[in-house]
Amino acid sequence: MVIIGLAGPACAEPRSDGIVQSTVPIAHQVQTILRLLDLIPDLAHSVPPLRAQAVCLALGLYHEARGQSANERIAVAQVVFNRMTESGDSICGTLWAHSGRYFQWVKRPVSQILPHEGAVWASLQHLALALIAHRPADITHGATYFYNPKLCAPAWADTGTVTARFENVFLRLDPKSPHSHDTRGASASHGRK
């Protein structure tokens, strides 16, 4: 599997990524993760709804951008926020939407979703809390997808409008585009975010 930094999208056809999909329902996985992470010092004093959303965003940043720059991490978070705006869902609901269609890491067994790099995990928790509390101006200009052009050139990206470029390319897709509902490459591990 090709990886961006320490984690991120690989550009491959569906199910060629070597990920073993968990047979545990995704809602149960989220609850298990939240229970396991319930004693995070910075989050332990937060109200439960904030705690859950911060854990989900920190997990998303951990799996999608932990090896990236601060701006790239913020941009990835803003893609999640922009998708939330479109769907009306929560951070957790957005990341786990459609059984992991857009973010393949959520399909992994809980043991593979839990962070294993303590220092990175701690910094991403702080970032998640800060971004939820005070969302900065959207440096992606409304992007709802991203991919790394060094790893792939997905066909669905041709239907989008590029809104920002860092290491990854951030873009919006026209909801009426024939590729906007395409499940090929429709996940973090396959290039589409």
For residue range 122-178, list pLDDT tens digits in order: 899 899 999 999 999 999 999 998 888 887 888 888 888 899 998 888 888 765 444
Would you kindly state where each structural domain of the chain is located, as residue ranges?
26-190
Which amino acid is located at 78 in the chain? Q
Q: Distance (Å, rounded) from C-alpha 97 to C-alpha 91?
A: 10
Q: What is the largest CA-CA distance in the chain?
A: 45
* Neighbour count for residue 39 (Cβ, 10 Å): 8
The predicted-structure confidence for 22-53, as pLDDT tens digits, reads as follows 444 555 666 666 666 654 555 555 556 777 89
Q: Distance (Å, rounded) from C-alpha 191 to C-alpha 3?
A: 10
What the block records as the tokens of 144 is 């709802």
In the structure, what pLDDT confidence band is assigned to residue 193 with cuts at 50, 70 and 90?
Answer: low
Q: Distance (Å, rounded) from C-alpha 181 to C-alpha 102?
A: 11
